[in-house]
Chain A
Amino acid sequence: MADPALSIRAVTAGYLRDLPILFDVDLVAEAGKITTIIGPNGAGKSTLIKAIAGLVPVTSGTVRHGGTDITGLRPDRMAAHGIAYVPQTDNIFRSLTIRENLDLALRRAGLRRDAIRARLLAQFPALQAKLGDKAGSLSGGQRQFLALANALATEPRTILMDEPSAGLSPRAAEEVLEMARGLTETGVTILLVEQNVTQALRLSDHCYILAEGRNQIDGKAADLLGDPVVAEIYLGGKRLRVGA
């Protein structure tokens, strides 16, 4: 088994110190794989990804990335550690053009800026044609592509994506998730929070199910997809029992 890219051990976290949302959560994301976190509304999925990204205080436990302890690291320092976070909404700068969005992310790339931009535009051809347009004019799917391209401009080893398919048409959602799948072929690790369970499990390697801020089940995505309990809970729309 490859070394884990991201390892979360017994993390307790919440927006307020005395009001934790996550309780002793464990998670391991293998390098070059997609690991997905699913769970009912209020399970703490987005809180977990934000706690890893440094946006929610971790009160106990550790977050390690490639062997380095990054627990509580400031969010703006995550990029230097090879971590990119793509928020669920407001993940692009609408009043800036697409080129400006990319250049903002490429500011520290120095002499390699042009080469990286060219590579990203080859990867996301839909953006190439709209380079001078304001990002606010893009469709939902194109915005997610731009958000992903912005994240990739920082040359991350791990990308944290918070519900990238939220609000997208099924076709656009599939395109975005397929793009995420493609990125792992270049060695990038992806940790994904998704509501679109079936699609996410099809594309993922490993999956964690959270409920009420705690680990419930985890396993290979293919196994969970065929699991009748998971199917009943998530594909039948019933709520997971705590401690199940």
Chain B
Amino acid sequence: MIGLLSYLVFFATVATILAIAVLGLNLQWGNTGLFNGGVAAFFGAGAYGTLILGGTPQAGHLGGFAMPYPLALLGGMAVAAALAWGVGRLTLKLRHDYLAIATFGVAVAFENVMRNAEWLSGGAKGLRGFERPLQEGIGSGLAYNALYLAFVASLLLLTYLFLERLVSSPFGRLLRAIREDEEAARSLGKNPAKVRLTAFVTGSVIMGMAGGLYATFYAFVSPQDVLPILTFQIWAMLIVGGAGNNRGAILGAFLMWGAWTASGWALSRHAPVEAQIYAGSIQYVLIGSVIVGMLLWRPQGLFPERLVVSQSGGATRPAPAK
């Protein structure tokens, strides 16, 4: 029973962290129409940033600044913001397909730099020497993990509330207008480039926070955690959940993470031994099939975007879809 509970807490923690990253992507794609194909890079920037700033000094790579945990996490988010700002300045003038290719390239480059720049990231061995906050007092068992789950769940809730407010604010209205027609927005005196960059950086900061929380949970990060498959997983979660709908993004994260772990478990139990070495590849095929299937048969996702009516400078209210 304790084993099952421990597993459920583990599952829920990872799903919650991924849901935060999906919310970041939803702001970029669902609300603003920015095709970020490099989610793993911003997630990774937060993860590496948090551990470098918050870890204990280690020989052989940068960091071990032993900063207090909240500052380390904020620092990781700032690293993601800086990366997003630089990437955004260079690439946001590109339209959907080219932006996707460019940002995908950034993510591949990020992974390769983390794999090879040992002085910075510890290389393929990854970053160690990070002690999870409050672990000394609470221990590393189920109680700690449950507490950590509560912590990440509260951050997920705060992120959700922040984004819901943002989407129904005048700024959210501007995001939707720019997603629909940049030229018309420009003719009304709006600067789409600035607004797109703001949304891109904000979404990436949220992904960076997810990365920081993920690395904190494992007290470790390596290039294996920022492989391109992470980007596809996050995208699959958003497509399944419903782009443009924050609740859909969260539910999509839980559903797809459940499908991913269940398929891994089923393959390890029931697939022939000779097929098990391909289990990872089969999971990739599963993710690809889900994305293609959803785009073909239910492109709006399980929870489609709701019409949100923003009010002028004051209170906001969601309206039922028409």
Chain A residues within CB distance 8 Å of chain B: 53, 55, 74-80, 84-87, 90-97, 99-100, 103-108, 113-114, 117, 132, 134, 150-151, 153-154
Contact = CB atoms under 8 A, between A and B. Distances in A.
Given A94-B180, A95-B176, A96-B176, A106 B186 contact: no
B277 to A, nearest CB: 48
A90 B178 CA distance: 12
Which of the listed residues A94, A105, A108, A151 has the most CB atoms from chain B within 10 Å of its own CB?
A105
B189 A96 contact: no
A96 B173 contact: yes
B310 interface: yes
Contact of A53 (B181, B187, B307, B309): B187
A93 B189 contact: no
B96 interface: no
Interface size class of B (residues with CB under 8 A): 20 to 34
- Report, nearest first, the 4 A-B pairs whose CB atoms are least far apart: A79-B189, A85-B187, A75-B186, A103-B312
A24 to B, nearest CB: 26
B177 interface: yes
Contacts of B165: none
A93 B312 contact: no
A192 to B, nearest CB: 15
Contact of A93 (B184, B186, B313, B322): B184
Contacts of B190: 76, 104
B309 A113 contact: no
A84 B187 contact: yes
A76 B312 contact: no
B184 A87 contact: yes
A94 to B, nearest CB: 7
Contacts of A114: 312
A96 B183 contact: no
29 contacts: A74-B191, A76-B189, A76-B190, A77-B189, A79-B187, A79-B188, A85-B187, A87-B187, A90-B184, A91-B184, A92-B184, A93-B180, A93-B181, A93-B184, A95-B180, A95-B307, A96-B176, A96-B177, A99-B312, A100-B173, A103-B170, A103-B310, A103-B312, A104-B173, A105-B188, A108-B189, A134-B307, A151-B187, A153-B188
A151 B174 CA distance: 16
A76 B191 contact: yes
B170 A93 contact: no
B189 A87 contact: no
A181 to B, nearest CB: 21
B186 A76 contact: yes
A150 B188 contact: yes
B192 A76 contact: yes
A106 B184 contact: no
Contacts of A79: 187-189
